[in-house]
Amino acid sequence: MRGPWVPELVTSTSSMLPWVTLLCLAPAIRSNGPPRAVLTLEPPWFNVLHGDNVTLTCEGFQTPGQGSIEWFHNGSAIPIHQDSYFIPAVNVENSGEYQCRTQHGDLSNSVKLQVSSDSLLLQAERLEFIEGGTMILRCHSWKSKPLHKVTYYHNDKALKFHNQTFNHIVRQVNHTHSGSYYCQANIGNTTHTSTAVIITVRGGKLSPAKVFIITLFQVVLIAIMAAVALYY
């Protein structure tokens, strides 16, 4: 006569737990080569006006005092070896893609810088946002001249009016926030309108580790259901 199946199944499932734990930890302990350097931009706006000051900072593991950081502009090496690259009074020639690499690290993420010669600019940290994040827009004038009667527009619809300069902040963005943005403001007695910036909001994505765990859970669940079906 057969014994009860429940204890047998519990024993079988328990024996799988160490393997399940190791598999879940695999993404965290797997080595993908040297660590990647991280490149950041300050101020954080990807688009700036000519004459603005910009600082790029390269963060990553390196031997102290070696001065071995490499910098690249549009794929070409530039003679900078400090961890920060300060660009005073940027011009159109400074536009492009920047990357860096530390002595013991891999090539960093790319940072794009767009320099405009306009009088008024709508600034954004990037052109793509993930759903649920925060979007900050800034109406910026050449040489930071005082602005008055600042209005932000989304798809030609006025959003907010400020008598002076204030950032436009959207928390918890979703797909309805995609589209064309620009600002209008007075510099002295003259009204200026910025060039439109196209912003896209994309749906949130699961990390590879979460996808792996969900898939593993589904496989284990199917295996348990199959074992129960075979027993009966």
| Weakest-pLDDT range from 49-58, 97-106, 112-121, 143-152 | 97-106
pLDDT digits (tens, 9 = 90+) for 99-112: 999 887 889 999 99
Q: Write phi, then psi, for 26 (nearest 5 degrees).
A: -55, -45
CATH superfamily of 1-30+118-232: Immunoglobulins (2.60.40.10)
Going through the chain in order, the beta strands assigned E by DSSP cover 38-42, 47-49, 54-59, 70-73, 76-78, 84-87, 96-101, 111-116, 120-124, 128-130, 135-141, 148-154, 157-162, 168-170, 179-187, 190-193, 197-202
* CATH code linked to domain 33-116: 2.60.40.10
CATH topology agreement for domains 1-30+118-232 and 33-116: yes
Rounded Cα distance between 73 and 79, Å, is: 10
Annotated domain spans of the chain? 1-30+118-232, 33-116
In tens, the pLDDT along 39-80 reads 999 999 999 999 999 999 999 866 555 567 999 999 999 999
Quick one: average pLDDT of 171-181? 96
Confidence (pTM): 0.70
